[in-house]
Structure formats: C-alpha cells, structure tokens
C-alpha cells in the first residue's frame, strides 16, 4: 500500500522552516524522507513563490516565513500561510515568528475571549 500525506512536501518543508529558521537542507530532507537535492528544489520553489526569504548567515542560510501571504490555489486563497502554520504548529509549539504585514494572526485564545465578552455584553 502506498503511503500518502495530507500535507505536500512543500508544506512539510515550510513547517520545518517555521520550527527552525536556520534548519539545514539535509535536515529538511531527513525529516521528509527525500533527497537533499529535492529539499533544495522545494525550498527554492518556496523562495521563488515568495513564501520564504533566504538570507545568508555565514556559510548557512536563514529563512523567514512570509506568513501574510495567501495560500496558493483558488479554493483557499482567503487563508494565509501564517494562519495555517498557527493551526498546524499549535499555540504551545515552539515556532520562530513568521513575517507578517497588514493584520496579525488572531489566536484561538483571542477568538474565545472575544466570544466570551460578546456573550456577556
């Protein structure tokens, strides 16, 4: 039986980067079960698409996730990368901050607090 995942390798690589902005390609490859060359191609796709910004830090790269960008695809463009990462990582998960512009991500706690104050008013 073939193995499959709900998340593409691109999404999983983005999660690796969100967890550790200084992650090495070899570590992304190991986490995803792919070759380092494939990991390089995926990270380049994410960079070309604007979803991550690569910065040289000595001999290594450091990445910054652009959380304000909408997800690709017409069915889900109203959702940002940062919103999806927040759900997948969870509020208690250690994650590097993602770059945001315009409006920040609203956490589940803020939504719950807003609903509580609306109910009491």
**Beta-ladder partners of 81:** none
Encode pLDDT of 56-80 as tens digits.
999 999 999 999 998 887 767 678 8
Q: Which residues contact 24 (CB under 8 A, 6 or more apart)?
A: 60
Which pLDDT score, from 0 to 100, does residue 76 have? 72
Encode pLDDT of 11-59 as tens digits.
999 999 999 999 999 999 999 999 999 999 999 999 999 999 999 999 9
The Cα 106–Cα 115 span in angstroms is 13
Query: Quick count: other Cβ atoms within 10 Å of Cβ 108?
Result: 11
Phi-psi region of 20 (alpha: psi -120 to 50; beta: other; left: phi over 0): beta
Which pLDDT score, from 0 to 100, does residue 110 have? 45
Residue ranges and CATH numbers for the domains of the chain are: 9-120 (1.10.10.10)
The Cα 70–Cα 78 span in angstroms is 6
């Amino acid at each position: 039986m073939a193995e499959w995942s709900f998340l593409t390798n691109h999404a999983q690589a983005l999660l690796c980067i969100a967890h550790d902005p200084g992650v090495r390609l070899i570590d992304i490859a190991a986490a995803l079960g792919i070759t380092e060359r494939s990991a390089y191609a995926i990270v380049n796709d994410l960079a070309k698409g604007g979803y991550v910004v690569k910065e040289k830090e000595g001999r290594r790269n450091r990445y910054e996730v652009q959380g304000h960008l909408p997800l690709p695809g017409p069915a889900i463009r109203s959702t940002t990368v940062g919103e999806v990462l927040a759900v997948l990582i969870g509020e208690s998960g250690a994650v590097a901050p993602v770059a945001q512009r315009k409006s920040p991500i609203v956490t589940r706690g803020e939504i719950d607090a807003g609903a509580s104050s609306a109910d009491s008013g």
